[in-house]
Amino acid sequence: MNEDGRVAFESAIMAYPISRALKIHGYNDITVAHPKTLRCIMKSKKKNDKVDTLKIAKLHMAGMLRESHLLGRNQQVSRELLVERVKLCVETGRLKSSLIC
């Protein structure tokens, strides 16, 4: 178990699976950085993964890293169902329009 380990990373499309995997491996202190907090990193002249990682770690250790809100598993499933429902309604409307014309 990694109860003392602290993890911080950029918010990205893989934030959910990464945070779930880290929790499974025993990490309790996981921070997914809010994109607005990382603007200073994006504007910096020296930009590479090693430098960006060090800056995120320093912000996290100083308590200056604003956290993104990650949905719970149930909220995430509900959101995905809602998105699929909207897509289905749009497609149904498109098909109805093509039959009427």
CA 59 – CA 69 distance, rounded (Å):
18
Instruction: Judge if 27 and 63 occupy the same domain.
Output: yes
Q: Which structure tokens are listed for 90?
A: 């749009």
Instruction: Judge if 86 and 66 occupy the same domain.
Output: no
Instruction: Judge if 57 and 77 occupy the same domain.
Output: no
Task: For residue 46, give the H/E element and its range.
Answer: none
- What's the confidence (pLDDT) of residue 101? 63
Contact 33, 58 (CB under 8 A): no
Contact 49, 17 (CB under 8 A): no
Residue 91 is part of which domain span? 71-101
The model's pLDDT over 49-85, given as tens digits with 9 standing for 90+, comes to: 787 888 888 888 888 788 888 888 899 899 999 999 9
How many domains is the chain partitioned into structurally? 2
Higher local confidence (pLDDT), 13 or 46: 13
At residue 44, the 3 state secondary structure works out as coil
Instruction: Judge if 3 and 34 occupy the same domain.
Output: yes
Q: What is the pTM of this model?
A: 0.59
At residue 30, the 3 state secondary structure works out as strand
